[in-house]
Amino acid sequence: MIFVSDTYNNPADIDDIDPDVPTGPLVLPLDQWHRARGGRMVDFAGYWMPVQFEGIIAEHLWTRESAGFFDVSHMGQLYVSGEGAEAALEQVLPIDLSTLPVGGVRYSLLLNEEGGILDDLMVTRWGTGFYLVVNGATKWDDIGHLREHLPDAVTLNHLEDNALFALQGPKAFEALEPLVSGDHPLSALTFMRGGQFKLGGIDAWISRSGYTGEDGFEIAVPAENAAELADLICAQPQVKPIGLGARDSLRLEAGLPLYGHDMTETIDPVSADLLFGINKRRRTDGGFIGADKVLPVIAAGAATRRVGLAIEGRMAAREGAKVLSGENEVGIVTSGGFSPSLERPIAMAYVPAELAVSGTQLSIDVRGRKLAASVVPMPFVPHRYHRKGAA
């Protein structure tokens, strides 16, 4: 099997990134490929990455209507194997690996001893081990944490010679299906399942997953073939390259949290509304790092909760804006922006649990101006994942 798939990480406020500051970022396999296509490159997570090509709104809407090609090669791709790897991972992650089939993909969390979130990640069972994808900005700390807590009999490989793409949108399958071959058809993959394929004759690991709320795929390939395969995919009429800006607005509409903003090491999974990242058996059995702190919060409920906010008017509220109930400060915005799909500003914030009820009326202080806001269910835009059994 080829060792080669916010959870992905994207900027919460693109306007705050200065592409002209020489901070010495590294280059990814598609660096020149992006530049040749007019990508505006910024320093993100220690790498030069494209923030946009044609424009954030145009790229966002194209992905919602057709298929967007994202380069997410900054993500950390890890492979955990060896004697006792399953049990060892369960001691570190609050995941139930006994119910994860070969090719199955599952969301999980890396927690500290206090139950705070160090990172969120995806775990896939391969035949002889486990493939992990962690956030680019935290991958070195994640690797150190895992190596510290995994026993010597378990091997952790950092798959540095691989690239990672995401193809997202309602026409992603239509675009990708003619390009792949394998023992099973691409149509056999449903949401959160993956398999080994040939893409343009080259080995690729493909999973049906993503960070936009749309149907789509994540594609892990050898870095040496990245440009060739990017050309192949983007030659399809349904596909255009998409930058970090649209990736951030897409994930916000999908209600998906961003590490370092909506999740931090001081926020527990219950407050973050990520209890699904702690599988049912682990909620009672415990046995993972941080369990002693998290399990009581699960039982009693969190004091604060991550919520979605619909904001009146056209002004967006950005990260750090104060959330008010009457004249009282009750929370803070962790992600916010203008929704191209809904044509209105939206945000995510943490508020007291008693206010985290749909319909609660609040306001947001943006540079001294109070914006009326209401708590609404997330996702803001319905997910369109291709789930098993769906028509």
251-309 tens-digit pLDDT: 999 999 999 999 999 999 999 999 999 999 999 999 999 999 999 999 999 999 999 99
Q: What's the distance, CA 62 to chain centroid? A: 19
Does one domain contain both 241 and 316? Answer: no
pLDDT band of 166, cuts 50, 70, 90? very high
Q: What range defines the domain where residue 300 resides?
A: 275-376
- Cβ atoms of 28 and 71 within 8 Å: the answer is yes
Q: Does 3 have pLDDT greater than 60? A: no
**239 and 351 share one domain:** no
In a domain, 120, yes or no: yes
Mapping DSSP onto H, E and C, the string for the chain reads: CCCCCCCCCCCCCHHHCCCCCCCCCECCCCHHHHHHCCCEEEEECCEEEEEECCCHHHHHHHHHHCEEEEECCCCEEEEEEECCHHHHHHHHCCCCHHHCCECEEEEEEEECCCCCEEEEEEEEEECCEEEEEECHHHHHHHHHHHHHHCCCCEEEEECCCEEEEEEECCCHHHHHHHHEECCCCHHHCCCCEEEEEEECCEEEEEECCCCCCCCEEEEEEEHHHHHHHHHHHHCCCCEEECCHHHHHHHHHHCCCCCECCCECCCCCCCCCCCHHHCCHHHHHHCCCCCHHHHHHHHHHCCCEEEEEEEECCCCCCCCCCEEEECCEEEEEEEEEEEECCCCEEEEEEEEEHHHCCCCCEEEEEECCEEEEEEEECCCCCCCCCCCCCCC
Determine the Cα–Cα distance for residues 218 and 238; give it in Å rounded to an integer.
17
The pLDDT tens digits of the residues spanning 326-335 come to: 999 999 999 9
Q: Is residue 339 part of a domain?
A: yes
What would the mean pLDDT of 140-154 be, rounded to a whole number? 97
The confidence score (pLDDT) of residue 31 equals 98
Both 126 and 66 in one domain: the answer is: yes
Cβ of 227: how many Cβ atoms within 10 Å? Answer: 16
Q: 224, 254, 284: which is the final residue of a domain?
A: 254
Gyration radius (Cα) of the chain, Å: 20
Side chain identity at 37, as an amino acid letter? R
Question: Residue 15's pLDDT is what?
Answer: 41
Residue 383 lies in a domain: no
Specify the CATH number for the domain of residue 166.
3.30.1360.120
Last residue of a domain, one of 196, 225, 254: 254
333: CATH: 2.40.30.110
The pLDDT-based confidence of 8 (bands split at 50, 70, 90) is very low
388 assigned to some structural domain: no
Same domain, residue pair 27 and 108: yes
239, 286: one domain: no
How confident is the model at residue 375, as a pLDDT?
98
pLDDT in tens, 71-85: 999 999 999 999 999
Give this prediction's pTM.
0.93
pLDDT of residue 24: 74
Q: How confident is the model at residue 169 (pLDDT cuts 50, 70, 90)?
A: very high
pLDDT digits (tens, 9 = 90+) for 370-382: 999 999 999 999 9
Examine residue 249 and state whether it is found in any structural domain, yes or no.
yes
Domain count, the chain: 2
Structure confidence at residue 390 (pLDDT): 66
- Is residue 193 domain-resident? yes
Tell me: do 188 and 74 sit in the same domain.
yes
With beta carbons less than 8 A apart as the criterion, state whether 338 and 356 touch: no
Q: Evaluate whether residue 61 is within a structural domain.
A: yes
Tell me: do 293 and 205 sit in the same domain: no
Q: Give tens-digit pLDDT for 186-228.
A: 999 999 999 999 999 999 999 999 999 999 999 999 999 999 9
Residue 345 forms part of a structural domain: yes
Model pLDDT for residues 38-63, shown as the tens digit of each residue? 999 999 999 999 999 999 999 999 99
Are residue 305 and residue 364 in the same domain, yes or no? yes
pLDDT greater than 60 at residue 246: yes
CB 118 within 8 A of CB 141: yes
User: Can you give the pLDDT at residue 18?
Assistant: 44
224 and 147, same domain (yes or no): yes
What's the average model confidence in pLDDT over 110-122? 98
Shared domain check, 313 and 234: no
Task: Tell me: do 119 and 229 sit in the same domain.
Answer: yes
What's the pLDDT at 176? Answer: 98
Q: Looking at the structure, tell me whether residues 306 and 175 fall in a common domain.
A: no
Residue-averaged pLDDT of the chain: 94
